[in-house]
């Protein structure tokens, strides 16, 4: 009887809340209330795994494909899709979000979430102080007066770094592009691992020594938005140069071999929801991929380049890995 009484007083064991593992690049961010609301509606606990810059993140996904570290991945873009597709690390998602009209596509199996433009940014204060005119071509940057002035993320580990490399190939042609990179190496080009290091450490706007950096067309607007002294004019400007503009489209996909398929699908739908498509604009400083989503006021002044330098999809699929290898030999070795 004592044993029965003890059992009667023991509280029932509650099932643990299932965990949804989401692999993202280091720039992924959304408001905590939105993430908490997703957890409540999906009945899961989110485990956000930051994998570094997008190229680094994809490398981790490929290295762990035998035992996946995530159920869903955000941050595969149109520059990296071919590598992900060749490595067979993604599963196609066919829910409503995959059929919603999008501004642009990433690649088969990846649902577009954001898009933006990778290009060079320049530090206005440095230009004024040094009495320099704004460069009007990539070739200008090979001249002695621009020696040691540009920092770029490594295309082997960084998605904006890869996007910029692809833009040079698409806009200049392969041979001219690699000749330009060789000249830039001789002219003091600096290469760092990822965009964050390039922008927040090496860029002169943030205390570094390089007044030119590979970044985004939205970066000047972000400088205004986050300014402590509430400036109204951006301290940086976009250089939309021939051979230097890439339209980047980021998306979300199921990880092959991952679990929690129902919740993973709900997360994909969540990223295409109106609330998230609005919030991500001032959290990740990218434009919404959903055709029905309007840009927020903070992004109203972001330019839409008249032309982009994306290589054709067929060339990306066939040559992007070879281009990265050639870039490494040309610039780093």
Query: pLDDT per residue over 24-57, tens digit each?
Result: 999 899 999 999 999 999 999 999 999 988 889 9
pLDDT for residue 266 = 98
Closest to 142 (Cα-Cα) out of 207, 237, 212: 212
DSSP H stretches of helix in the chain: 2-9, 32-42, 54-63, 81-87, 96-99, 124-129, 159-172, 174-186, 195-197, 219-226, 261-271, 274-283, 313-327
Q: Are 244 and 76 in contact, with CB atoms under 8 Å apart?
A: no
Domains belonging to the chain, first-starting first, are 16-114+248-299 (3.40.190.10), 116-246+306-332 (3.40.190.10)
Tokens found for residue 114: 């954001």
pLDDT at 2 over 80: no
Q: What is the pLDDT of residues 179-201, one digit of tens each?
A: 999 999 999 999 999 999 999 99
Tokens found for residue 305: 């380049």
Phi-psi region of 158 (alpha: psi -120 to 50; beta: other; left: phi over 0): beta
Q: What is the pLDDT of residues 285-331, one digit of tens each?
A: 999 999 989 889 999 889 999 999 999 988 998 999 999 999 999 99
């Amino acid at each position: 009887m004592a044993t029965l009484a003890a059992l009667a007083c023991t509280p029932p064991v509650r099932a643990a809340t299932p965990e949804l593992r989401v692999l993202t690049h280091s720039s992924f961010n959304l408001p905590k209330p939105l993430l908490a609301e997703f957890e409540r509606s999906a009945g899961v606990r989110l485990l956000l795994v930051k994998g570094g810059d997008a190229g680094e993140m994809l490398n981790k996904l490929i290295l762990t494909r035998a035992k996946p570290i995530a159920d869903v991945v955000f941050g595969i873009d149109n520059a990296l899709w071919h590598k992900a597709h060749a490595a067979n690390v993604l599963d196609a998602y066919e829910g409503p979000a995959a059929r919603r009209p999008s501004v642009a596509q990433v690649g088969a199996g990846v649902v577009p979430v954001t898009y933006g433009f990778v290009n060079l940014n320049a530090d206005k204060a440095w230009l004024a102080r040094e009495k320099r005119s704004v460069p009007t071509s990539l070739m200008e940057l090979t001249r002695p007066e621009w020696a040691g002035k540009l920092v770029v993320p490594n295309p082997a580990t960084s998605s904006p770094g890869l996007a910029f490399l692809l833009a040079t190939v698409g806009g200049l042609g392969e041979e001219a592009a690699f000749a330009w990179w060789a000249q830039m190496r001789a002219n003091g080009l600096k290469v760092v691992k990822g965009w964050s290091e390039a922008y927040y450490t090496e860029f002169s706007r943030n205390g570094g020594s390089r007044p030119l950096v590979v970044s985004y067309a939205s970066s000047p607007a972000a400088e205004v938005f986050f300014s402590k002294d509430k400036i109204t004019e951006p301290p940086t400007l976009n250089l939309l140069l021939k051979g230097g503009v890439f339209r980047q489209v980021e998306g979300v996909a199921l990880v092959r071999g991952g679990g929690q398929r129902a919740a993973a699908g709900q997360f994909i739908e969540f990223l295409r929801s109106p609330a998230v498509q609005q919030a991500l604009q001032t959290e990740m400083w990218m434009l919404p991929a959903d055709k029905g989503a309007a840009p927020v006021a903070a992004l109203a002044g972001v330019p839409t380049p008249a032309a982009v330098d994306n290589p054709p999809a067929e060339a990306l699929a066939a040559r992007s890995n070879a281009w990265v290898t050639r870039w490494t030999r040309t610039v780093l070795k």
